[in-house]
Amino acid sequence: MKDKIEKPEPHILVIFGASGDLAKRKLIPALYNLALQNLLPDEFAVIGVGRTDLSDDEFQEKMHNAINNFGKREKHEEKINSFVNKLFYVSLDTSNASEYKKLAERLRTLDEQLQTRSNVIFYLSTPPMLYTVIPKYLSGHGLNKSSNGSRRLIIEKPFGYGLQSARELNRDLLQYFDEHQIYRIDHYLGKETVQNVLVTRFSNGIFEPLWNSKYVNRVEVTSAESIGVEDRGGYFDTSGTLRDMIQNHLMQMVGLVAMEPPSSFDSNSVRNETLKVFQSLRPFELMDIPKNVIRGQYVESQIRGEKVNSYRHEKGVAENSRTETFVAIKFFIDNWRWGGVPFYIRSGKRLPTRVTEIVIHFKKTPHWLFGHYQSEGEACNQLVLRIQPDEGILLKFAMKVPGQGFNVQNVNMNFHYADLQNAYVPEAYERLLLDCMLGDSTLYTRGDAVEKLWEFIAPIQKAWDDDPLIPLYGYPAGTWGPESADDLIEGMNMTWRYPCKNLADDGQYCEL
């Protein structure tokens, strides 16, 4: 991980699936943001690749509109025009090996014209079925290797649909690209607030000494969405929350929370430490899954007076679907630092608010002097690392209420990213694209870690497939999931933290 932002070497970025949503909503606006900050090399170009027959001018016009529609920074017509002039387009059938000759010729021409030193990134913004097809055909035309530059491959999740398919994907990719060339992108790791987990831990002497089983009661990770599946019902019904959110985004955050201090902040050191966490996950026994893993599916409800459909009535969803829209899991990390500390993760759709956060629940004091004034849950200090929205950090601790006696009340000490004057928080794809150009894979997922996480999830998938008696709980849209998810939490009067959209005034004012 670089200590300071630097400008990368000349590059050509090839985006397969350039006419799709990801390119226009995220990738092109992110590149434009980098251009605004003067972080793109002067010798830079994008080649969009797709089946749609477009000229360079037509592609540039489409991406010009995309920046205006989806870009979140200031729109300068002159700067947009300057940026889109670096965009080019090649129409080809990605399933036809012979057509890659057109791409090879365009790359060679632009490399000579722009002097990009044969540095090329291939971004697969395509259906997963093409994740091995495209690298194979790139290799067939010698585009995976360069005698004097770098060749890198970015692929989006899903990195397989289970342990076996993940292993097969890794095996196939490694036939055509070396591991150091492969960048598996998880946009959650590109979020500024996720990276701040590492800084909060390792640069503060008040936190790191407490970051272990001696002082931590439990760790909780929540990623909630207030929306349903929207127009993704067809895709989501074949995936579900376990595959779509738990196996990747939430478990990657667990890796950052639980890892040991790396020897340095280079790519291998950081990713080696997160891998050790995944290797230490206590495997699930099939008989224990029903009481440690809760799954649910939202049902019809009313939210603010409006009727909300059940999941099974969403477009593209099977009428008798048993796909989970909510998952809560209790698990353990069996190593020296975390032995005996329960970790709880949950994610779901149609919950009360959109929020992602990590909560460290500290143990109560050894002698509970003020037990008459506090519940056990209130006696546990909390450190809340808010990923989104209202990004920041919240520390909850007890104070005496003024007046006679020792009435105790929890109070908040908080920091908001929004309080940093003139601080620009980059979008996740912005950071990750720049890192790839710099050859920094710290915030990308490595193949062995992907397989370890699928290995952890595999018993859950098998139990759900093999045992129809494991409940799929219904929960009304707009609630915090099945009530049985509360039963996972250990301890008297202990429960999940139920966050609000706003971070700091959660106990007084909650905007849902």
Q: Which two tokens stand for residue 196?
A: 């701040």
Residues forming the active site: 249
Gap between the Cα atoms of 325 and 310, Å rounded: 11
Question: Can you state the percent helix, strand and coil of the chain, rounding each to 5?
Answer: 35, 20, 40
Gap between the Cα atoms of 345 and 367, Å rounded: 29
Residues 6+ apart with CB under 8 A from 373: 406, 407, 408
| H helix or E strand, kind and range, residue 461 | helix 447-466
Give which of 129, 148, 134, 145 is closest to 100, Cα–Cα.
134
Q: What is the rounded (10 degree) CA torsion for 484, 489, 493, 495?
A: -70
CA 224 vs CA 123, 148, 250: distances in Å? 28, 46, 11
Residues 6+ apart with CB under 8 A from 66: 23, 24, 25, 28, 29
Cis bond upstream, residue 158 (ω within 30): yes
Gap between the Cα atoms of 197 and 484, Å rounded: 30
Cβ contact 223:347 at 8 Å: yes
Q: Are strands 306-308 and 326-332 parallel, antiparallel or unpaired?
A: unpaired
Residues 6+ apart with CB under 8 A from 441: 180, 183, 267, 271, 435
Gap between the Cα atoms of 189 and 253, Å rounded: 8
